Amino acid sequence: MSGAATDRDPAAGDAEDGWTIVAAVKQVPDSDEVGIDPDTGRLDRANAPAVLNAPDRDALEAALSIRDAVGGTVTAITMGPPTATDVLEEAVAMGCDDAALVTDRAFAGSDTWPTSYALAETVDHLDADVVVCGEETTDSSTGQVPPGIAAHNGWAQLTYVEGVDPLPEEGRLAARRDVEGGHERVAADLPVVVAVAYGEFEPRPAGLHRKLYAENDFEPMELTADDLGIDADDVGMDASPTQVGGMETVEPVDREKETVETPAELLDALADEGVIAR
């Protein structure tokens, strides 16, 4: 059930014909367009337009830069309903060689565990040497899916990556990681799952002819649970360990919201609050 460590030979990515690189992207509500639902007073994500998760552009750039260095192919994948092909088109427009939509009614309602399981089976199915993901998604931002994919397949993982440095001669990928209080440089055996830090890469603009092709003539692969050998009750709502037990609106902390004109006035107020001596 949970992905056993696959018996991959260590020198999976030989240098000549380059690496098989997979970029996992996601379609999310456009956070700039998420308005407030007047009656519930809560963020109304339902009818905000769906767009490519912004951190995933860094992932696509990282994936394409690896291919530019060592050759091979970049395939974009996304898990979602048929409308999610828009984000695959944007990935192909940016330069990905191919794309696959992982779509099946059985996947609906999956939390981190089954989602990373389905994606793990997909990247295994595609024989990936390197899997690149965005650090987080703007709608759930847990950042747990990339490590989940690596764990399902028993592959190496590199998170909070600010720079990638492929080492084809060693069959490894080195990366500069942002860790508490500084940085480290880590080399990982292939296959490896990389989560790139948001804002550290310069996503390249899509070429004119590639954008035309991606939006009008390109057809992504479609992979269902059967194609991936996934049993329906290993994914979806009931295979998800966590569920939402309840929701309550948060009472905002009430603040004075007093405007003061001069520093002296502010310091007097702070002195009255007893937070500074004056």
Looking only at residues 180 through 239 of this chain, which bind other proteins when binding is defined by CB under 8 A?
A: 180-189, 192, 198-199, 204-213, 215-224, 227
81 touches other proteins (CB under 8 A): no
What is the total count of residues that contact other proteins (CB under 8 A)? 107
Tell which one of 19, 107, 160, 201 touches other proteins (CB under 8 A).
160
Q: How far is Cα 8 from Cα 42, in angstroms, rounded to an integer?
A: 48
In the numeric block, which tokens belong to residue 176? 């500069």
Q: How many residues does the chain have?
A: 278
48 touches other proteins (CB under 8 A): no
Q: How far is Cα 76 from Cα 37, in angstroms, rounded to an integer?
A: 33
Q: Interface residues for other proteins in 19-38 (CB under 8 A)? A: 32, 34
Query: CB of residue 69 vs other proteins: minimum separation in angstroms?
Result: 18
**Binding span for other proteins by CB under 8 A among 11-19, 58-66, 81-89, 151-159:** 151-159
8 touches other proteins (CB under 8 A): no
C-alpha R_g of the chain: 22
In one-letter notation, the amino acid at residue 252 is P
Between residues 69 and 240, which has the closer beta carbon with respect to other proteins?
Answer: 240
Query: CB of residue 230 vs other proteins: minimum separation in angstroms?
Result: 14
Tell which one of 80, 119, 159, 171 touches other proteins (CB under 8 A).
159
Query: CB of residue 7 vs other proteins: minimum separation in angstroms?
Result: 14
Query: CB of residue 170 vs other proteins: minimum separation in angstroms?
Result: 10
For residue 173, what are the CA distances in angstroms to 84, 160, 269? 30, 14, 56
**Binding span for other proteins by CB under 8 A among 52-60, 62-70, 81-89, 269-277:** 269-277
Tell which one of 56, 84, 157, 225 touches other proteins (CB under 8 A).
157
In the numeric block, which tokens belong to residue 96? 């990905």
Helix (H) or strand (E) holding 94: helix 85-94
b/e 228-258 (16+ beta carbons within 10 angstroms → b): bebeeebbbeebeeeeeeeeeeeeeeeeeee
71 touches other proteins (CB under 8 A): no
Give the strand pairing for 98-102 and 72-79: parallel
The answer to whether residues 76 and 52 touch, using CB atoms and an 8 Å cutoff, is no
Q: How far is Cα 272 from Cα 162, in angstroms, rounded to an integer?
A: 46
What mask of x and - would describe binding to other proteins in positions 239 to 258, judged by CB under 8 A?
A: --xxxxxxxxxx-xx-xxxx
Q: Interface residues for other proteins in 118-147 (CB under 8 A)? A: 125-127, 136, 141-147
